[in-house]
Amino acid sequence: MKKTALSELMSSNSTQKKERGTLYTPSEIAGQVALWEKTFRIFKKHSGEVKNFLRGFMKKPNRTAIFTGAGTSEFIGYCVSALIRRNFETPVNVFSTTCIVTAPEDVFLSYSPLLLISFARSGNSPESIGAVRIADMLCKDIFHIIITCNERGELRRWTEGKTHAYSLTLDSGTNDKGLAMTASFSNMVVAAQMLSHLSSLDQYEKMFPGLLDAGRNMLENAPDIAREICDLDFERAVFLGDGNNYGTAVESHLKLQELTSGAVMCSYDTFPGLRHGPEAVIDDRTLVVGFVSSDPYVRAYEEDLLLGIKTKKIGKALVTCGKNLSDPVRRISDFVIDCDPGGTLELGDRYTPPVFVIAGQLLGLFKSINLGCKPDSPSERGIIHRVVEGVKVYDPKRFRETGKLEIIAER
């Protein structure tokens, strides 16, 4: 294994890791690609069961699907919704569980058959439990698929004995112990990609070695670049992505922000969307990170935007992350992270989020250390936790009928 800034962190002894708050997060980032193989095997083993479970749903006219989760778990939906939309030929939306519990009548259409796909690392968030219970209250024809990293989680247990719910639990190694979701995120993305290929797993299986190679390349080449970037003095960051990598940008913005305990404030957008106001946040202490497409049509828009930033001379540094990045993009960039510089891997843009997000995770990790935070638990005041606390979820139907608040989930 090549020695990198990431492997250096992992080579410290346990006492040093505990003191620095690096006991879990570096190894969870480094180990996630190996876990993708386990996720592949788990899903393939259960694919027949999943197919049987969804057979009735796929025959229904006017069917719809919703991806849900809280925080990072919500962002998985942005990384895979296009795949489900195209391969299931089904309209798809992404709604956070926090949106569902507060405004369920604005989310659910009682007359439309619904597949609610829930993602959860622990499965113990009150909103996760509340969302599926409320969906059952308001939807006449509903199917649930739960993808989680915790066999003992309350969300997985909720599915027991229910014929309209199916739970897929990933390898226990995906249940990150650090505060920030890293391996859990990318592995649930891989599982969701496989779900989208439920009727064409052979196609996904042919592509999967390229995904693994790209992930290994990222872990080998990106850590030293990320550490160098994080030595720069920046206090803001903007992440950009188009298509499924919009989800990569959303997730990366949270990784950097939460691992630095808010010391680096972050935003996200599509490349063209940045021009419509958000560009105003870019000053001389702002890092701009673009997840660049390999599709020449999409990349034309992205190159135009990146060139505009360079021409205006705004931002602390411009970082591009991609696959077989073009010469124009490389010339524009201050830093380049390329998971396939030789252009030998067969990996389309729709499948790159679990690879590209590693760059966002590494930026969060090394900036956290740079600022003196502890990546495993960066919030010294205890404002954010691995599983949210102090949350009550109420029964909306009961409240509309009686005006009384009745708790259906709490932590």
pLDDT of residue 381: 66
How many CA atoms lie within 13 Å of 293's alpha carbon, on the beta-carbon side?
Answer: 22
12 touches 27 (CB < 8 A): no
> CB under 8 Å to 268, separation ≥6 — which residues?
238, 239, 240, 241, 246, 249, 250, 252, 253
99 by Cβ neighbours in 10 Å (0-12 / 13-18 / 19+) ranks as: middle
Q: Do 223 and 337 reside in the same domain of the chain?
A: yes
Domain, as residue range, for 282: 209-380
Q: Do 375 and 386 reside in the same domain of the chain?
A: no
Q: Can you tell me the mean pLDDT for 49-67?
A: 96
pLDDT of residue 409: 83
Rounded distance, CA 284 to CA 232, Å?
11
Q: Can you tell me the mean pLDDT for 212-232?
A: 98
The residue with tokens 């298509």 is 243
204 lies in some domain: no
Residue 227 has pLDDT above 70, yes or no: yes
Residue 386 has pLDDT above 60, yes or no: no
Q: How many domains does the chain have?
A: 2
- What's the CATH code of the domain at 87? 3.40.50.10490
- The pTM of the whole model exceeds 0.85: yes
229 touches 252 (CB < 8 A): no
Which uninterrupted H or E stretch holds 257? helix 245-259
Q: pLDDT tier at 292 (50, 70, 90 boundaries)?
A: very high
pLDDT of residue 385: 55
CA quadruple 271, 224, 176, 166: dihedral sign: positive
171 touches 93 (CB < 8 A): no
| β-bridge pairing 265-269 and 286-291 | unpaired
**85-119 pLDDT, tens digit each:** 999 999 999 999 999 999 999 999 878 999 999 99
Q: Do 161 and 256 reside in the same domain of the chain?
A: no
Q: pLDDT tier at 65 (50, 70, 90 boundaries)?
A: very high
Q: Do 144 and 220 reside in the same domain of the chain?
A: no
Q: Do 180 and 226 reside in the same domain of the chain?
A: no
Q: pLDDT tier at 384 (50, 70, 90 boundaries)?
A: low
Q: Do 226 and 349 reside in the same domain of the chain?
A: yes
| The two three-digit tokens of residue 376, written as one number | 């495993």
Q: Do 376 and 389 reside in the same domain of the chain?
A: no
> Which of 274, 265, 259, 207 shows the shortest CA–CA distance to 234?
265
Q: Do 150 and 213 reside in the same domain of the chain?
A: no
| β-bridge pairing 142-148 and 407-410 | unpaired
pLDDT of residue 397: 82
Q: pLDDT tier at 396 (50, 70, 90 boundaries)?
A: confident
Integer-rounded Cα radius of gyration of the chain: 21
Q: What angle do CA 302, 304, 310 make, to 5 degrees?
A: 105
Residue 130 Cα distances to 98, 118, 139, 353, 394, angstroms: 9, 12, 14, 28, 8
Q: Do 94 and 220 reside in the same domain of the chain?
A: no
**133-150 pLDDT, tens digit each:** 999 999 999 999 999 999
